[in-house]
Amino acid sequence: MGFFRGMLNLDRRIIFILIAGAVVVPLFIPFHLKMHPTPASQGLYNAVEKLPEGSTVIISGEYDPGTAPEIQPMMIGALKHCFRKGIKVILMGLWPQGPALEGQALQEVFKEKEFKEMNLQYGKDYVNLGYKAGGAVVIQSMGTSIPATFPTDMAGTPIEKLPLMKGIRNFNDITFVLDFSAGDPGTPAWVMFAHDRFHVPMAAGCTAVSAPMLYPYLQTKQLSGLLGGLKGAADYEWLTKSSGTGIRYMPSQSIAHLVIVIFIIIGNIAFFVVRKGEKR
């Protein structure tokens, strides 16, 4: 009884220390966990895998440094997947910091020998159109005219000077949209306008917090696939046979979850035992 009463009054700082330990120790002693990709992650992978070489894909980044630990591994995974398949990539963002983080993701990708040797060229194989304010209105406007919505790329180069953008008028010239979003404006706006109004197939990646809100779009097939949080990122790295922070962070994530689950179970048992004792 004393033990259970003590558990109910446990100093929260002890829990913080245990969680910190659960996160830090696997970073020092890494071990690999076998991944079992979810059908939602598999859906995104399959959708990109089916795209023919030379397709043009828009990858939009709606996240910031605060949510980058979850979203950035997805962005890096998507860039690698597209480049391996010879897909042309148009980067953009509806959040101000999105395109800058996309630039960092590109730098990460090009650090790897495989992609360095591909000799991919800015303007021909990929472009970064940068940030545009307006959220859903921007997507709607792109449905009418992409050059009118983004007259220049992120660096201020007129897009008619970029070979990749020649012949790109609106969503009719876009094969697929990948949206990586941490909130609003984000995936719901892309689904509403790019998919439902202009009929561009799409998939998304999001922070774990927003995943339950986006799952309904999977059963309606408005999204071909969905990467939810760090687990989604790890799934994607596993499926594309890439190494990255998604898989690297999974042991920390799993051990921390285990500690939380154990505390929830002990807390509940303690609650019922103490209540039963008090009734007597």
Strands 202-206 and 88-93: unpaired
Residues 29-68 as x/- pattern, contact with other proteins by CB under 8 A: -------------------------------------xxx
Nearer to other proteins, 4 or 193 (CB): 193
Q: What are phi and psi of 177, to 5 degrees?
A: -120, 130
Q: Is residue 196 a contact partner of residue 189, using CB atoms and an 8 Å limit?
A: no
Among residues 7, 35, 208, 273, the one that binds other proteins under rule CB under 8 A: 208
Name residue 228's beta-bridge partners: 206
Assess 237 for contact with other proteins (CB under 8 A).
no
CB 30 within 8 A of CB 255: no
Stretch that binds other proteins, among 36-44, 107-115, 254-262, 272-280 (CB under 8 A): 254-262
Query: Does residue 262 belong to the site contacting other proteins (CB under 8 A)?
Result: no
- Residue 266 interacts with other proteins (CB under 8 A)? no
Which positions ≥6 away from 164 have C-beta within 8 Å? 56, 88, 90, 123, 124, 125, 126, 127
Binding other proteins (rule: CB under 8 A), the pick from 229, 238, 239, 244 is: 229
In angstroms, rounded to a whole number, what is the distance separating the alpha carbons of residues 254 and 250? Answer: 6
Extract the tokens encoding 21.
Answer: 């330990």
CA–centroid distance for 200 within its chain: 19
- What is the contact mask toward other proteins in residues 174 to 203, using x (rule: CB under 8 A)? --------------x--xxx--xx------
- Which residue, 42 or 252, has its beta carbon nearer to other proteins? 252
User: Using CB under 8 A, which of 216, 271, 272, 276 touches other proteins?
Assistant: 216
Contact 120, 177 (CB under 8 A): no
Element (H, E) at 251: helix 245-279
- Looking at the Cβ atoms of 121 and 268, the one nearer to other proteins is 268
In terms of phi and psi (left: phi > 0; alpha: psi -120 to 50; beta: otherwise), the region of 172 is alpha
Count the residues of the shown chain that bind other proteins, applying the rule CB under 8 A: 45
Site of interaction with other proteins (CB under 8 A): 13, 16, 19-20, 23-24, 27-28, 66-70, 96, 131, 133, 136-137, 188, 191-193, 196-197, 207-209, 211-212, 216, 219-222, 228-231, 245, 249, 252-253, 256-257, 260
